[in-house]
Amino acid sequence: MVDAAFVSELRERYGIEFKNLRLLDEAFTHSSYANEHPELDLRDNERLEFLGDAVLELTVSEFLYKRYPDWPEGELTRLRAASVCTRSFSLFSREAHFDKYIRLGKGEEQSGARKRHTLQEDTFEAFNGALYLDQGKDAVVKFLQQVVFPKIAAGEFSAASDHKTFLQEYLQKDGPVDIRYDVLDEEGPAHERQFAVAVVVDGQRLAKGEGRSKKMAEQDAAKKALASLKAKAH
Amino acid sequence: MVDAAFVSELRERYGIEFKNLRLLDEAFTHSSYANEHPELDLRDNERLEFLGDAVLELTVSEFLYKRYPDWPEGELTRLRAASVCTRSFSLFSREAHFDKYIRLGKGEEQSGARKRHTLQEDTFEAFNGALYLDQGKDAVVKFLQQVVFPKIAAGEFSAASDHKTFLQEYLQKDGPVDIRYDVLDEEGPAHERQFAVAVVVDGQRLAKGEGRSKKMAEQDAAKKALASLKAKAH
């Protein structure tokens, strides 16, 4: 059975109480543990992981769809891909202490599997699959509102490098345009150089950006250009 | 507005009536049509497609999870991938006549986009995204019970070539084994040749299969071997 301390922790931190504790057990049973204890006739968490993966895909998609009503599909897809991935799920898993409670076989334990990000990700998916089966989608959403959505909304998973792409897509909606980034200025010593860059679209300067590298200044310019274009469109 | 004939067809064939018809309109508005009619201030279906993609991923996953309670994760994942793809979704789209009702711009129409499978797939996803927003997951499931699940259950998307892989995974759960396929017999003229093949595992013959090619006979043997192994395991 899953650790009693974990059952309390779920209740106290997230207000979650499983009706069917066997689902919670299953979610925290790694195949290596099930294989090592054939006498217990345990199910490992892989089927729940299969389901949980899809549960997370939908709940995160719906969150993004509703939170960003003006974003085009391309931006939604990019942020979904950055939010629904090994890096983020393993992080959530550790924050919720799931890595502490997953039951591993001895060999896996010794090989350091508990610290493996893919294993932590799998546990996070399996937990959400179990919660979905036990209590439905709304319970999953309530849990994600505590551990996932605030981080997405805070921009933790938006790659900064996306502004140039966003600007390009925005401008090219109605056909090809010429987008150019011109370096306006470059000053300071090598270790603290500052760049100033202008983004020029079809010969017209849209915005200026600054940064500690040419790339960062370009991103800054693209971000400002997008903001001003969107402000004008409204 | 979406064609009135389509609204009737949805009601009569599937019992679906949208509360918010603007969602249905949006689902059937291709970006080329929206771009061609700026005066109508239309939204294209790409955001709904983003959402619908995740809705279908979850509803199909849940169907498979519940329908095949004894399948390991690998088999579920394979059948999900084969069921949730361009080929299947474009097929469902045509069967529901979605390809007839999607609104296209003139250029796209002339280039034959209406027959393009990816466009049909996108429409299917957008429709399910719209239905989900309008009426929730249960309404989507009810629709899929009519157009999708029976086909999956009938094996329409299980690649026949999976039996050999399934057998291999089943046998290698507890370590490596030696799997060999021996041709036992080959008869008949070239255009209607019949092959008989045996699958031999660690030197022991597990089953015999037949087919019109060596590959098909091997698949048949693997399928029979799996069935007898599973029967013994219970």
- Identify which has the larger pLDDT, A100 or A69: A100
| CA diameter of chain B | 74
**Which residues of B belong to the active site?**
53, 125
- CB-nearest to B65 from A50, A76, A137 is A50
Provide the mean pLDDT of chain A: 91
pLDDT at A160 over 60: no
pLDDT confidence tier of residue A114, bands split at 50, 70 and 90 = very high
In the set A75, A108, A121, A125, the catalytic residue is: A125
Whether A95 is a known active-site residue: answer no
Kindly tell me if the per-residue pLDDT of A31 is higher than 80: yes
Any B CB within 8 A of A174 CB = yes
As a whole number of angstroms, the distance between CA A132 and CA A49 comes to 11
Nearest CB partner across the interface for B51, out of A51, A65, A72: A65
Express as a percent the part of chain A with pLDDT over 70: 97
Question: Which of the residues in chain B have pLDDT under 50?
Answer: 160
Query: What is the arrangement of strands in the sheet containing A179-187, beginning at the earlier edge strand?
Result: A179-187, A194-201, A204-211
Q: Which domains does chain B have, with CATH numbers?
A: 4-153 (1.10.1520.10), 162-233 (3.30.160.20)
Task: Report, as an integer, the average pLDDT of A57-64.
Answer: 97
Look at A173 and B35 and tell me if their CB atoms are within 8 Å.
yes
- Reported ipTM: the value is 0.72
A34 contacts A48 by C-beta, under 8 angstroms: no
Which residues of B does the annotation place in the binding site for Mg(2+)? 49, 122, 125
The arithmetic mean of pLDDT across residues A105-128, rounded, is 96
Nearest 5°: the CA angle A73, A79, A82 is 140
In this prediction, residue B160 carries a pLDDT of: 47
Is residue B42 less than 8 Å (CB to CB) from chain A?
Answer: no
CA separation, residue A140 to residues A9, A58, A134, B138 (Å)? 17, 11, 10, 17
pLDDT band at A162, cuts 50/70/90?
low
Give the closest-approach CA distance of B187 to chain A in angstroms: 43
Percent of chain A exceeding pLDDT 90 equals 65
Kindly indicate the confidence band of residue A80, based on its pLDDT and cuts at 50, 70 and 90: very high
Per-residue model confidence as pLDDT tens digits over A174-191: 788 999 999 998 888 776
pLDDT band at A213 (very low <50, low <70, confident <90, very high): confident
With beta carbons under 8 A apart, name residues in chain B contacting A72. Answer: 46-47
Nearest by CB to A73, from B35, B46, B61: name it. Answer: B46
Residues recorded for chain B? 234
pLDDT value, residue B162:
67
| SS3 letters across A46-111 | HHHHHHHHHHHHHHHHHHHHHHCCCCCHHHHHHHHHHHCCHHHHHHHHHHCCHHHHCECCHHHHHC
